[in-house]
Amino acid sequence: MKERNSFSGSIGFVLAAAGSAVGLGNIWRFPYLAAKDGGGLFLVVYIILALTFGFTLLVSECAIGRKTHQSALTAYGQIHPKFKWIGRFSTLVPFLILPYYCIIGGWVLKYAIAFLTGHGKDAAVDGYFGGFITSTMPPIVFDFIFLAATAVVVFMGVDKGIEAVSRVLMPILFILVVGIAIFSVFVKNPDTGMTGFDGLKVYLIPSFEGLTFKKFFVVITDAMGQLFYSISVAMGIMVTYSSYFKDEDNLVQSVNRIEVFDTLVAILAGVMIIPAVIVFMGKDGMTAGPGLMFVALPKTFEAMGFAGQIVGAIFFIMVLFAALTSSVSVLEAVVAGIIDKLHWSRRKATVTEFLAAFVIGVIICLGYNVFYFEVDMPNGGVGQILDIVDYLANNIFMPIVAIGTCILIGWVVKPKVVIEEATKNGEHFGRKKLYEVMITYVAPILLMVLLLGALGIF
């Protein structure tokens, strides 16, 4: 049997896993939720959940991956035959996410090119974003380019592709994030006299204005939902990446590093975006999703004058790197499942999934013009094809995968399976008791609440 690919060491694993975790969800969703949910209040709740709920899911998936040395599709069945279904669902998630994630990656590429070629002001004009995504061919072309770049990295393999790219892009990404965050804090609006420090206060100081139990509950569910995006759990990625993690390396230490790095970048994403947007556009500029990234921020950069064009170019290059490292992990989760289940070559699996993702991507792109329609979502939103696919993957299937994982580890094979794997070399498991309580009781309840909320039940 051919020896399974692996990361060269724990640093390679941490950088690749962090590259997966630090993506569009951190950059355009985290700042919006923080601004919406009381700034510092959201941060405190998020950090507490990251150290408890997030840690529990992350260490569980990493232990399952390394113990079985299999991708998510086949790993769960090896832990317990009756739980093969979790593997199928956790592979379905990245299969659904990849096409539209690469479409959004294509949007980022479009804006990066616009700012790099000196057309940043055009990107700030009303209707620029809507005109682009509703056009027929341009979004498909940019989707193809971004998806092809993703496929090339995965095609090259674990150590020569995924790890090599992560070792280069992640340090650059972190430097750019810190640099933009510093600029955002010190920026000043000459018309109003407001500075980034004023916006930073909105972000960091907890706001309890109008806080009720119901609103606090929304903050908790928002923070918990954000953790799925932030740490890449419940989508087969961490199981798959951990299957390439060497037995002799320290799993707990690596999980802690991923946790710290991702939380730090998520918080810095807020520092990058919130102060600058509030200084030039007010709190109303903090819109959700694409509205923040492709409408509010270009207007913010335009308001900064010449410096904004430079900062905008750097910003979209940074986002492009973040999107690429994340899309690579999403594609790898599917490709690894095909390799482990069907015993195909990496080349055949990558090309097949590339073609499938591109066909689905074309359909989603055309959902903004040829196939356009609107439908009411169970969670109260209104969406079309991209929104429906995103809703199914993130709001339904991911909580189901996480609930299944909690039942499997917490109640069927028991937490000792994960703890023993994580400490097989004599490592110290610092949050052992917390982990046992979370995986068995607390996490399943929180996840069920999240799922029922997504279904519109309450």
297 closest CA partner among 274, 277, 317 = 277
Per-residue pLDDT reduced to its tens digit, 99-115: 999 999 999 999 999 99
Q: Is residue 129 scored above 60 in pLDDT?
A: yes
For range 30-39, the mean pLDDT: 91
Q: In this structure, is residue 2 part of a structural domain?
A: no
For range 395-419, the mean pLDDT: 97
What angle do helix axes 138-155 and 84-116 make, rounded to 10 degrees?
Answer: 120
Q: In this structure, is residue 420 part of a structural domain?
A: yes
Q: In this structure, is residue 223 part of a structural domain?
A: yes
Q: Is the pTM of this model over 0.85?
A: yes
Structural domain that includes position 423:
10-454
| CA-to-CA separations, 113 to 20, 108, 122, 171, in angstroms, rounded | 23, 9, 12, 22
Q: Is residue 380 scored above 90 in pLDDT?
A: no
Q: In this structure, is residue 41 part of a structural domain?
A: yes
% pLDDT > 90, the chain: 85
Across the chain, mean pLDDT equals 94
Per-residue pLDDT reduced to its tens digit, 295-330: 999 999 999 999 999 999 999 999 999 999 999 999
Per-residue pLDDT reduced to its tens digit, 158-213: 999 999 999 999 999 999 999 999 999 999 999 889 999 999 998 999 989 889 99
Q: Encoding tokens for residue 422?
A: 């994580």
- Considering its fold, how many domains does the chain have in total? 1
Q: In this structure, is residue 248 part of a structural domain?
A: yes
State residue 21's pLDDT score: 85
Q: In this structure, is residue 246 part of a structural domain?
A: yes
CATH code where residue 179 lies: 1.10.4160.10
Q: In this structure, is residue 338 part of a structural domain?
A: yes
Per-residue pLDDT reduced to its tens digit, 238-270: 999 999 999 999 999 999 999 999 899 989 999
Q: Encoding tokens for residue 240?
A: 């798959």
- Other Cβ atoms less than 10 A from the Cβ of 370: the count is 9
State residue 5's pLDDT score: 76
Comparison of pLDDT for 5 and 400, the residue scoring more: 400
Q: Is residue 2 scored above 80 in pLDDT?
A: no
Strands 382-383 and 375-376: antiparallel
Q: In this structure, is residue 1 part of a structural domain?
A: no
State residue 3's pLDDT score: 57
Q: Is residue 1 scored above 50 in pLDDT?
A: no
State residue 372's pLDDT score: 95
